[in-house]
Amino acid sequence: MKKFLLLVFFVSYSLFNLAQQPATLDKPAQLPATPDKIYGELFREVQMNKIFPDGKTFVDCIPKRNPKDIMYDYGLRKGSHFDLKKFVDENFELPPTPQLNYITQEKDVVMHIKNLWGVLRREPDKPVEGSSLLPLPYPYIVPGGRFREIYYWDSYFTMLGLKESGETEMIRNMVSNFAYLIDTYGHIPNGNRTYYLSRSQPPFFALMVDLLAELQGDSVFVSFLPAMEKEYNFWMEGTEKLKHGQASRRVVKMMDGTIMNRYWDDNPAPRQESYREDVETAERSKRSKTEIYRHLRAGAESGIDFSSRWFADKKNLGTIQTTNFIPVDLNALLYKLELVIARARLLNHDEKGANEFRKKADTRLLAIDKFCWNKRINYYTDYNFIIQKQSDIVSPAGMYPFCVFNRKLDYMSLLALKSGVVVKEKLLKDGGIATTEHNTGQQWDAPNGWPPLEWMTVWGFERCGQRELAREIGTRWIRINVDVFKRTGKLMEKYNVADTHLDAGGGEYPGQDGFGWTNGVLLKLISMYGLPKEN
């Protein structure tokens, strides 16, 4: 009887403890199927026939019934008189975009953004058979428009604004969601969609943890240490097998034996959300299709999709060569990850482990200086390890080291002074910083400016003593955001910084409004520099 009572007590106690834990979702036994696998020929026909103007629409659709039944009926009905559009309408629900129903009533842009957090908020997800959405256990903020899910690097810049709005709980929820993704899939995918699982995005997770620790204390570092280490292992996988001059997935062993990183994607096929566009790009390029698909997908992992930064001829998408580059921004972020892991290990009473990661960070810092500091230009640029040559493309990616390097301030200030001359000459426009000097028709080239790159530029110059230039860039960016808001009632994904009266353009889809990272960066900059004075 005593044994029975003890068993009952143990089970009851265990159930009570489980009930006190944060909500979680069951881990998948295997990676979920992607839309091309589930819908096969139907997927290809819908995308290649452009049933929807935006290729992302179909892969985000929700099936109205069992996908197997849909595919069975498709097999029976397809033929010469088959109405593909009607079949899709009958069997799929279009993805919702509720923020389009939001009518702007606020004249004050700060109040508008604070109200938008509720519009862009999503509650914990429930699994739906046949849906591409990867369910998350905690609430989160989406960017807006066609971007109906959480995005990796977007979220850091969104969190800057959430912090200014006092939304600490939401920041914690989003960091916890990313830790869940790392624990479940081994990395943070581009976004929480099945078709994004083969790639990640710029690794801002350590900076998110850093931001949350500012609000909730050093225990945050220890709590998220396992997730940070697991993400680090994802980026470094294959290191031990490499010989000098070799590359594997996201890791490159330079000729001098230094380990650095590149962007990559594990799936050498057209991106499912841009299937038709990628097929057409590959055909026009006359190159190996698997080769160009890999470069296109790596460009998507970089977040800079697409830009002359990755083009061999600086003009045409068909010359894209993303995986050939050691990107300065990626390696600066991994340096930061190494530093934050070192700090977390020290807080976790692991001094030996902390020293190990500090040494990794020190080695990477020296490598970034060696391969990416362009002495001819006086600016950090990417390095093409295939031809062993530095790029001469000037972009805000070169500002990342100024944001994260842990070295003597007087030395960084000297480099920032030199880089400031370059930025003013090549990138500074009426509305802020242009993404590159080149106007190629791609969305991550001139004349467009993007919130994350504006912030990294401002932060880098502020941190390294070029405060006047930082303020100038920041106030120009605030002004264009506010002016467009007054004219349209919207905050946009990107802006035309060269002609502030024109919309931004380029890329594979129309300009989107909402917009998570715009809202975040704008609130942060307003807290630093204030709103522009009325004329």
Q: What is the pLDDT of residues 146-180, one digit of tens each?
A: 999 999 999 999 999 999 999 999 999 999 999 99
3-class DSSP state for residue 370? helix
493 is catalytic: yes
| pLDDT tens digits, one per residue of 390-415 | 999 999 999 999 999 999 989 999 99
| DSSP H helices in 430-466 | 451-463
Strand, coil or helix: 119: helix
Catalytic site residue from 164, 445, 493, 513: 493
- pLDDT of residue 9 exceeding 60: no
Which one is predicted more confidently, 5 or 16? Answer: 5
CB 165 within 8 A of CB 113: yes
The model's confidence at residue 21, banded by pLDDT at 50, 70 and 90, is very low
pTM over 0.85: yes
What is the per-residue pLDDT for 520? Answer: 98
Is beta strand 247-248 parallel, antiparallel or unpaired with respect to 325-326? unpaired
Task: Tell how strand 383-384 and strand 389-390 pair up.
Answer: antiparallel
For residue 257, the model assigns a pLDDT of 97
What is the rounded average pLDDT of the residues 310-324? 98
Domain ranges (residues) in the chain: 28-59+61-94
**324 with 386: CB under 8 angstroms?**
yes
How many residues are there in the chain?
Answer: 535
Confidence category of residue 535, pLDDT binned at 50, 70, 90: low
Q: Does residue 71 surpass a pLDDT of 80?
A: yes
How crowded is the C-beta side of 506, counted as CA atoms within 13 Å?
26
Q: Is 305 a catalytic residue?
A: yes
In the chain, the amino acid numbered 102 is Y
- Is the predicted pLDDT of residue 16 greater than 50, yes or no? no
Token readout for 326 is 């050691």
Residue 144 falls in which region: left (phi positive, over 0), alpha (psi -120 to 50) or beta: left
Determine the 3-state secondary structure of 93 from DSSP. Answer: strand
Note the pLDDT of residue 504.
85
> Which residues have CB under 8 Å from 524's CB, separation 6+?
160, 161, 163, 164, 455
Give the active site residue among 36, 125, 305, 329.
305
Locate tokens 């941190």: which residue?
Answer: 463
